[in-house]
Structure 1
Amino acid sequence: MRQASFTEVRNHAKQYFDMVESGESVRVLRNGKPIADIVPIFPDLPSWKQRKVQPLVLDGVSISQMILEERNSIV
């Protein structure tokens, strides 16, 4: 998350909103204290289409890939 002072956001609003539009969040500070977060709005997707989890990885290889390789080696 990018941090910027209120004055900086006010003076360079287009630049910061372009960042937010591209998916980055911006925390706005006034006198060094956070006062707001500007976050992107993502399109509403059904819950079954939202990807909230990361694949399980062990030693740099995904668990699903390990299972598939083991299945192929048995046959």
Structure 2
Amino acid sequence: MQVVSVTEFRARAAEMVDRVQKGETVRILRHGKPVAELVPPQPEVAEPGRVPAWKRPFEPLHIRRADGKSGAQLIIEERASGW
């Protein structure tokens, strides 16, 4: 683990981020006391059986008016009438 002061971190931020990218942890001190730690990101572990909402199958809506026409049919008729 690399331990640096806030001043040193500001001066060498890119280098510190490179260290973290390689798997090292960087602890940042202010007035000798730890105020932050930069750590590599942990891989996200998906819960087994859990599927994100955007991947779940869905049933499309089938809405029909009282006259039996769908929204798509109404649009087609409107376009054909030249409106």
Smaller-chain TM-score bracket: 0.5 to 0.7
Aligned length: 48
Q: Structure 1 unaligned runs (5+)? A: 48-75
**Greater helix fraction, Structure 1 or Structure 2:** 1
How far off its partner does 1:43 sit?
Answer: 2.2
Separation of aligned partners in 2, 1:27 and 1:42: 17
TM-score, with length taken from structure 1 = 0.57
The answer for the alignment partner of 1:23 in structure 2 is 23
Residues 1-75 of structure 1: pairs in structure 2 closer than 5 A: 1-45=1-45
**Greater strand fraction, Structure 1 or Structure 2:** 1
Q: Structure 2 unaligned runs (5+)? A: 48-83
TM-score, with length taken from structure 2 = 0.52
The answer for the alignment partner of 1:68 in structure 2 is none
Percent identity between matched residues is 45
Deviations 1:16-38 (A, max 9, x none): 00000000000000111110111
CA-atom RMSD in angstroms: 1.7
Runs of 4+ with >6 A deviation: none
